[in-house]
Amino acid sequence: MQKGDEILTGSFLEIRAKLLEVAATLDRVDRALDQGETLEGDAAACRAKLDDSIRILLTSDPDRAERLQRLFSREFSDAWRQEFEI
What confidence tens digit (pLDDT) does each residue in 36-84 have? 999 999 999 999 999 999 999 999 999 999 999 999 998 889 998 998 9
Band of pLDDT at residue 33, cut at 50, 70 and 90 = very high
DSSP letter for 31, please: H
Q: Identify the band that residue 22 occupies on the pLDDT scale cut at 50, 70 and 90.
A: very high
Within 10 A of 5 (CB to CB), how many other CB atoms are there? Answer: 8
Indicate the residue type of 36: G
pLDDT of amino acid 4 = 94
pLDDT at position 7 is 96
Question: Do 61 and 67 contact (CB within 8 A), yes or no?
Answer: yes
